[in-house]
Amino acid sequence: MPVTIIIGAQWGDEGKGRAVDWLAAQADVVARFSGGDNAGHTVYVGDEVFKMHLIPSGILHPQALCVLGNGMVINPVNLLKEIDMLREMGVDISPSRLKISSKAHLITPAHIALDAANEKARGKDAIGTTLRGIGPAYLDKTGRKGIRAGEMRDLEAFGELIRQAIQSANQTLAQYDADLLDAQSVAEAYVQAAHQLRPYLADTTYLLNQKLKAGANVLCEGAQGTLLDVDHGSYPFVTSSNPTIGGALAGLGIGARYVQQVIGVAKCFSTRVGSGPMPTELDGDIANRLRGTGENFWDEYGTTTGRPRRCGWLDAVMLRYSCDVNGYTSLAVTKMDILSGFDELKIAVAYEVDGVQVDYPPDTVAALERAKPIYETFPGWEQDITNARSFSDLPLAAQNYLKRIGELCDVPIAMISVGPEREQFIVMEQVLAT
Ligand code: IMP
């Protein structure tokens, strides 16, 4: 490697967990660098479905050490639930396999209550957050009053910090007319969680750099997606972190000189959950077909919230932008099997905004809302492609669709997923150069 960074190239839910799971087989360390349990990564192994919100999908590979980086915001109670769930499913999740950055920030019930209160107050302009307390936790971090995971080392002092934080948040909640929290019981629950999580704490900046100096392969697992980035997404309809390339380095404390590959994971059509502009969004039959019925775990319903996702054709204008922001060395294109059976497919190659054709997304939400996609149309294919294991196994129409994506983005496609199972994957080249 030594460092490979996986980034969501669109609005999240691109199927990054699958790509990470594939690459993690050769990784010594798998690290998450941003976001919290707003993420939902699903990996399907044999008959079992693993749904992770905080712990990297790499945990399913016994040789990989997993890291929750300093750029994350972590709900300790939910993290413990996830640890227990994985342990019950037979996964080794001892402190020798999982490290929590002492510099990561903690999410408290106050952040969750404030997230709900903020959303309610925004009314029709609500962001459509996952209500996991992500925004308020990052707000406390940048406002320099957050509580970091390392505080859990001293249980008594930690309990007091939590109690004070809840009491202070209650004042704000009162202004919103929201229910107040019982500071004492929250502090007790958090001290209990801290007691169990303390063995997992580490200075992961030091750890990762020691590993890199010793030649380890580190895989950085992105969450959310580029178009939800607080700087580069359609602000304010974004998450509160940088799920992009810069966030990966800052969120782990590692330098650019180790980075060998940046892989953008892009779904072969578009989905978005929550509010905000989505130029290629469709209603009706095509959207319903892309979304699926919700009976299968791979259908387009949120892993974290269960909300139906907004669906539409692939937006290559946005994807090109995502390539610029992150400098991908390659792309992984996912869910190609879902496109089987369409008579024709479309890709947005430009927009018309106020009568002018543009090939770059406008930089304001208002203009993006007015953008009308200009499509190229492609013939579809009938065949089931879930058994394809090489590019040449794919029908010509699928090959042409993929080639056009590569051309439009000017980035090579390294991986293609053709089904939900671990093996339903085409690797175009040796992407993990050792
Ligand atoms: P938050 O991250 O919960 O504050 O939500 C902010 C926006 O990001 C909302 O539109 C969410 O639907 C979206 N979002 C957050 N996490 C994910 C994710 O993992 N996948 C897709 N969308 C997400």
pTM of the predicted protein model: 0.96
- What local confidence, expressed as pLDDT, does residue 434 receive? 29
* Number of domains present in the structure of the chain: 2
The domain that contains 309 carries what CATH number? Answer: 3.90.170.10
Closest atom, ligand 1, to C-alpha of 13: 20
Q: Is 230 near ligand 1, meaning CB less than 6 Å away?
A: no
pLDDT digits (tens, 9 = 90+) for 67-84: 999 999 999 999 999 999
- What local confidence, expressed as pLDDT, does residue 47 receive? 78
Is residue 111 annotated as part of the catalytic site, yes or no? no
- What local confidence, expressed as pLDDT, does residue 429 receive? 63
pLDDT category at 45 given cuts 50, 70, 90 is confident
Q: Is 239 near ligand 1, meaning CB less than 6 Å away?
A: yes
Q: Where are the alpha helices (H) located in 143-263, listed in sequence order?
A: 155-175, 183-197, 204-213, 245-250
* 387 shares a domain with 308: yes
Q: Which of 21, 28, 37, 41 is catalytic?
A: 41
Q: Of the residues 160, 177, 201, which one is the last residue of a structural domain?
A: 201
* 341 shares a domain with 305: yes
Q: Which residues contact 189 (CB under 8 A, 6 or more apart)?
A: 77
* 79 shares a domain with 109: no
Q: Is 325 near ligand 1, meaning CB less than 6 Å away?
A: no
The whole-number average pLDDT for the span 94-116 is 98
Q: Is 112 near ligand 1, meaning CB less than 6 Å away?
A: no
Residue 290: which domain range? 3-95+203-427
pLDDT category at 433 given cuts 50, 70, 90 is very low
pLDDT digits (tens, 9 = 90+) for 390-429: 999 999 999 999 999 999 999 999 999 999 888 899 998 6
Q: Give Cα 99 to chain centroid, integer Å.
A: 19
pLDDT digits (tens, 9 = 90+) for 198-256: 999 999 999 999 999 999 999 999 999 999 999 999 999 999 999 999 999 999 999 99
Residue 266 is assigned to a structural domain of this protein:
yes
* 114 shares a domain with 58: no
Residue 160 C-alpha to ligand 1 middle, in angstroms?
A: 31
Q: Of the residues 170, 201, 232, which one is the last residue of a structural domain?
A: 201
Q: Of the residues 186, 201, 216, which one is the last residue of a structural domain?
A: 201
Residue 402 is assigned to a structural domain of this protein:
yes
In this structure, which residue's CA is closest to atom 11 in ligand 1?
A: 129
pLDDT category at 1 given cuts 50, 70, 90 is low
Nearest to 318 by CA among 247, 234, 415: 234
Other C-beta atoms lying within 10 Å of the C-beta of residue 257: 9
Residue 17 is assigned to a structural domain of this protein:
yes
* 34 shares a domain with 17: yes
- What local confidence, expressed as pLDDT, does residue 296 receive? 82
- What local confidence, expressed as pLDDT, does residue 213 receive? 97
* 278 shares a domain with 187: no
Residue 272 C-alpha to ligand 1 middle, in angstroms?
A: 9
pLDDT digits (tens, 9 = 90+) for 318-358: 999 999 999 999 999 999 999 999 999 999 999 999 999 99
* 63 shares a domain with 141: no
Q: Nearest-5° angle of CA 315, CA 317, CA 321?
A: 120
* 310 shares a domain with 181: no
